[in-house]
Structure 1
Amino acid sequence: MTRNMFYRAANIVQLSRFTLLAGSRLLCTQTQAEPLTVRQQNNGIRRITLNNPKKRNALSLSMLESLRGNILADIDSDDLRVIVISAKGPVFSSGHDLKELTSAQGRDYHTKVFQACSEVMTLIQDIPVPVIAMVNGVATAAGCQLVASCDIAVVTEKSTFATPGVNVGLFCSTPAVAIGRAVPKKVAMEMLFTGSPISAQDALLHGLVSKVVPEERLEEETLAIARRVCQASRPVVALGKATFHRSVCLSTDVLPHCSTQPFCLPCIHSLFALCFDVFVGLSGYPLIHLHAKRQQKTPSFLSRKINTMYMCSFIHI
């Protein structure tokens, strides 16, 4: 009986040790879980990496929230001049996580996912610094929308782009907006109705991307553009970006009116806001630049603390 009690106690101790070891491994796994996006910043360039290659960097609700947070962090800091978005693995982004769009999740959750996605895409255009997509691989559906929403896109020769939702019963309605503004109408329609991918060269031809480079030069070429952006005045770049996106978003009802009316009120309003910001809110910047050019020197812009997000929202059409 004593021997049985001894064996039983030994088994309990062994089981306790196993449970403790398993628990410590689980805790270690949970605490060491990698973030969905990784942010680094150096010399005015913020690099955000989509970091979920096992799920093809799907834009799940958690991924979108993480991306949004890393974009907005210290967005008004003078040290931030440009953002570069890239991805880990062979897929830039496969779009939404389809597991989040099943009937089991419910309509309210679906709405939350699509709303978060729209907010991130709009945010990319509204923030005062340019956003560059650095793409090496596949970008589909909302992933393709992300590329189209960025201000600049540098891609490799092996990159492809598609909106394949129609093939699984989910038409890519939201990506259609950004892609339809980036490429000709009939090209967008073919992508949306067939789901067929287009090559990097075709994407360049139709205006979806800015530049196609060899894979080994992707980072070099992308950072070269980012450094050029860093050399310019941040407020001037912010103002230019806001003005450009406002003009691109003009409806087809407004554009004919602007071309036939010598005094179009929406255009006068925008022009007044532009002049006000440049000559009052950004006092000195254009003059400093022109003076430096005459002296054949690199312009040294003043460091002024202004809320560029507010400045960008000042221009209305």
Structure 2
Amino acid sequence: MTRKSERLSDLVRMLNLIPYFESHPDHSLMEAARDLGRQPQEIRDDLNRLWCCGLPGHMPHELVDMEVDFRRVQITNSQGLDQPLRLTRTEAGALLLTLESLENVPGLINRGAVVSAASKIRGIMGEETAAVYDSIGTDLPAESDTVEDLREALESGRKLAFDYRSVSSDSCRRRAVSPARVFTNEGAIYLTAWDESVDPAPEHRTFRVDRMSGTEILPEEAHPHAAELDFDARDPFGYSGVDLQADLLIRPDATWLADYYPIELGETTPSGMVRAMMPVGSIDWFLRFALGQSDRIAVNGPSTLLEALRRRAELAARAYDEPSSHPAGG
């Protein structure tokens, strides 16, 4: 999700607290957290930010006013912001696409709620949902067998085998894993599983479903080690726990890379480049990334990455001077 989308999501989430607490004037922060699936402190933080929301002019009498403690939230002046925000037709269509994708996700905790929400949107949008069905109709069949095997493996508690094309190692090999959980991120479906083939010690690995093929449910019982699975929905790939961080300089017209890779943008340097930090989970993958984007980024550190990048670049340049093993014209 881009920063612009995150800010809009934050605003919608905060404003929707006003009609919620007006409809539930006696609910505590703990009760609201239960209803909304959030932490009490997160709701308290959003309420504190609502003090600065209101009508144009932003004088004290034009801002939202309320009385807040952990036992009760009373909205004393909503400034007219007392109606839940409504979806545009475009937003409703996008939400319906997401819900229909979730309907096919194996291991979903409350699939009934997803199906119910999708049905309500279809009922509101009517015939306009036909375009939604058509837009995904060609995408689902290619994944349906894989998704069905994932669902069955999770429900039966058995191991799953598949061929996996790894972007980090630029290779493809057969895997046999114990599925632990499935989640979605930016429209893609991922499987987290216990992989006993990891060297030097077995651990949980994450696999992107659209890079899996040839799935097969094995007769062996799965051992997903669920108690050892530390999953954070805000950081599903564990980037915050990666020790190696690349210090980058990015051209201003290439900062869009931060929308597709885990790059944290910083200040602009006097030369006009933008400082950035990027977690490096796989050095091989990062070297391919840095060389492929060498016209857009410069690696500024640390020294271990600079040395590895220099060696890789020298090997690539040397290949141009070595005679080819292929016959001319072959």
TM-score w.r.t. the length of structure 2 is 0.22
Higher helix share: 1
Higher relative contact order (CA 8 A, sep 6+): 1
